[in-house]
A = this chain, B = another copy of it.
Amino acid sequence: MQLTQSLHKARREHPDRTATICGARRQTYAELFARVQRLAGALRRLGVQPGDRLGVLCGNTDRCLEAFYAAWWAGAILHPINLRLSPEELGFVLEDSDTRVLLADDAALPLMAAARARIPQPLTAVYLGEERAPAGFLDGHALPQAASALPDARAGGEQPAVLFYTGGTTGRAKGVVLTHAGLYASTLASVCVAGRAPGVVCLHALPMFHVGGMAVVLQAMACADTQLMLPVFHPDAFLDLIAHERVVEAALVPTMLRRVLDAPAFGASDLSSLQRLFYGASPIDGTLLAQTVERMPGVELTQFYGMTETSGIAVALPHRCHTAQGRAQGFHLAAGLATPCCEVRIVDADGDELPTGRIGEIELRGPGVMQGYWRQPELTAQALHDGWMRTGDAGRLDAHGLLYIVDRLKDMIVTGGENVYSVEVEAAVLSLPGVAQCAVFGVPDAQWGERVHAVLVLQAGAQVDEAAVIAHCRPRIAGYKCPRSVEFRSEMPVSGAGKLLKYRLRAPYWEGQARRVG
C-alpha cells in the first residue's frame, strides 16, 4: 500500500488526461509523473533519504502537489506546514521534527522572512514559487532539470508517510505520524462513502497542508481526477473556477460555505457542473445546511468528520441524510456513519462502552488511526489504547448507527449543575436572521460556576442586540441553556484550516483560573 500507487496508475491508464490546472498552467498525468520522478531525484541529491522529513510550506498549487508525491516517491516523510503559523511556531515544528529540507513557495516568503532567526540550522530551503529564487533559497525549478529521474522508493504499509503538526487549539503543537497504509485505507473508504465518480474535475479549495485538504488530494489521485488548484480561498474565485472549469466535485469547511452563499456573485454564478460537495472539519449549523440544500439543488452533499489523528475522514454523512426525507427524521443533525475502515464507539469516563443512545466520549479505531505523536510516547499512550483513539468529543450513536457529535468535551458548559452543549446553543442563535457566525462557551460566574456566553459576528447591515439574541433563544432552548451575555465582534479567530478557534475567545475569561484555559 504505497501512496505513489495512484500516480503510477494514472500515468499508465490515463497518461493524456489533464492532471492539474493551476492558473493558466495545465499538465497531463504523464507530465506530472515525469516531474515527480525528477523532483524526487533532486531531493535525493540534496540528501533526502528514506525516512527523512521533507517540509512543504506552500499554498494550493500544482508545485505543492508535486512536492507531496516527490516526498513519498523518495521514501521521505512528508511534513506539510501550515502557512498561518507564527514565526516562533514555524521554528518549533522544524526543530521538533528535525526537518532539514523545506520546499516553499511565494505564499511562504513573508513567514520565512519573519522566521529566519528562529529557523534551526542546517536547513536547505528550496523555492517552488513563480519568480526568481530569492536569496537563501535554491531554485526548485532548475534542480529537477539537473537531476535524473529517481526510481520509486516504494515506501508503504506501516511506514510513516506524513507528519502533521496539530493541537493549535489546545496546548503546544504535536506531530501526528500517519502511515501509508492508514492514509491508503482511509482514501479508499472515503471514495466508497462519497460516491465519487472517477476522472472528473475536482477543485482543491481546502488548504492541502491540512489533513482534510490532503484527504481530497489522495481521493482525487485515486480517481485520476483533473485537479484544479485554488491557491488561496476566496468565495468569488471559488465560484468563478466552478463556472469556468466545469468543476464536478469540491470540498469546503462550513465557514467557507457560509462565505460562498453570502457572496454577491452567488446568485448569478453557473454551478450547473457541480455534482458533489464535501464539507466538514467543524460543525455545521442547521441554518447554513438548510440554506445550502435549498440554494444548491442538484448538488449531493456529504459531510465528513474526523481528525488529524485519524488520517482525516472517519465518519461520513451521506447525501440521503440531507434530503427532505432525511431531514424530516433529523438525520442531517448527525456527523454520519463510520466509514468502512473505521469503528466508532461511545465510552463513559471509566472507558466502559455505553449502549446505543447514551452520551459519552467518542472513540475511533481502524487502520487510519495515527501511529502516534512524533517522539511523544507519553502523549501517544494517553491518546491511544488497544487501537482506540480518544477523540475528546462527546457524542452518541443512534439505532441507525449514526454518530451525533454533542460537543467537544471541553466545550461543554456546566452551569448550575446542568450540562449545556455549546453546539445546541449555537444552533439556536444562528437561526436568528442577521447572525453570520456564533461561538458559545462558558465563562466564570460567581453564582452558577459557569455562565453561557455567546460571541457573534453579524451579517453586513444586520441590526441585532443582546436582548434580541436572548429573546430569540428563549422559546427554542431551555432557560438554563440561553446565553446570559452576548458579545459582538467583526470577525472570528480561525485556524489555517478555517476552524473557529474558540479557545482564543474563551482564554481571556479564564486567565489565572484552573479550568478551561486549553
Contact = CB atoms under 8 A, between A and B. Distances in A.
Interface string A1-32: 10001101100111110000000000000000
19 contacts: A5-B366, A8-B343, A9-B340, A12-B344, A12-B397, A13-B337, A13-B338, A13-B344, A13-B397, A14-B401, A181-B181, A184-B341, A187-B340, A188-B188, A191-B340, A195-B195, A198-B337, A222-B340, A223-B340
A368 to B, nearest CB: 10
A198 to B, nearest CB: 8
Nearest to A156: B367
Given A181-B181, A192-B192, A343 B16 contact: no
Given A13-B401, A185-B188, 11 more contacts: A1-B181, A8-B343, A9-B340, A9-B343, A12-B343, A14-B401, A16-B399, A181-B181, A188-B192, A191-B192, A224-B401
Interface in A312-349: 337-338, 340-341, 343-345
Nearest to A154: B387
Interface in A353-405: 356, 366-367, 387, 397, 399, 401
Given A185-B184, A192-B188, A366-B5, A12 B340 contact: no
Contact of A343 (B5, B184, B189, B192): B5
A338 B5 CA distance: 12
Contact of A157 (B6, B158, B340, B343): B158
B344 A1 contact: no
Contacts of A341: 1, 5, 184, 188
Contact of A1 (B13, B14, B185, B397): B185
Interface string A210-226: 00000000000011100
Contacts of A13: 337-338, 344, 397, 401
Of listed A14, A191, A367, residue having the most chain B CB within 10 A: A367
Interface of A: 1, 5-6, 8-9, 12-16, 154, 157-158, 181, 184-185, 187-189, 191-192, 195, 198, 222-224, 337-338, 340-341, 343-345, 356, 366-367, 387, 397, 399, 401
A32 to B, nearest CB: 16
B185 A345 contact: no
Contacts of A399: 16
Contacts of A157: 157-158, 181
Q: Which 8 A-B pairs have the closest CB atoms?
A: A13-B401, A188-B188, A222-B340, A1-B367, A191-B192, A192-B192, A9-B343, A14-B401
A215 to B, nearest CB: 14
Nearest to A366: B5
Given A14-B401, A157-B158, A338 B188 contact: no
A345 B11 CA distance: 11
Nearest to A193: B198
A188 to B, nearest CB: 4
Contacts of A6: 340
A11 to B, nearest CB: 10
Contacts of A397: 12-13
Contact of A185 (B185, B343, B366): B185
Contacts of A154: 387
A366 B341 CA distance: 18
Contacts of A338: 9, 13
Contacts of A401: 12-14, 224
A468 to B, nearest CB: 42
Nearest to A187: B340
A228 to B, nearest CB: 21
Nearest to A340: B222
Contacts of A12: 343-345, 397, 401
A211 B356 CA distance: 35
